Amino acid sequence: SVSDQVSSPTFGIVNHYENQQGDLFYHFDFYRLDDPSEALDIGIEEYFYSGNYCWLEWAEKIAAFLPEKFFLIRISTDSETKRTLNLQHIKDAS
């Protein structure tokens, strides 16, 4: 578990978190990304292949840069009080 308070990286694209064991986690929010190549400017590939967990919001904005293997979590709003989670392991993003 992460002991830091988790928040959406509103102004920056990425936030770093560390759990009690010293493991790093990266949280990306690509909502405000205008051009997918901006993700390359922050070194997205280095984060993805660092061996650390990367959590992405609005990942469809950088679809061309996603790794071949990832775990997709979709949250659908069914009503004001009900949500549906769809979990899918993607083995080839192409």
* Residues of the chain predicted below pLDDT 70: 1-11, 93-94
- At 44 the pLDDT is 93
- At 3 the pLDDT is 60
Q: What is the CA angle 65-32-7, rounded to 5?
A: 95
Q: Do 9 and 28 meet the contact criterion of CB atoms below 8 Å apart? A: yes
Domain 14-90: top CATH class: alpha beta
pTM: 0.75
Name the residue ranges covered by the structural domains of the chain.
Answer: 14-90
d(Cα 5, Cα 3) in Å, to the nearest integer? 7
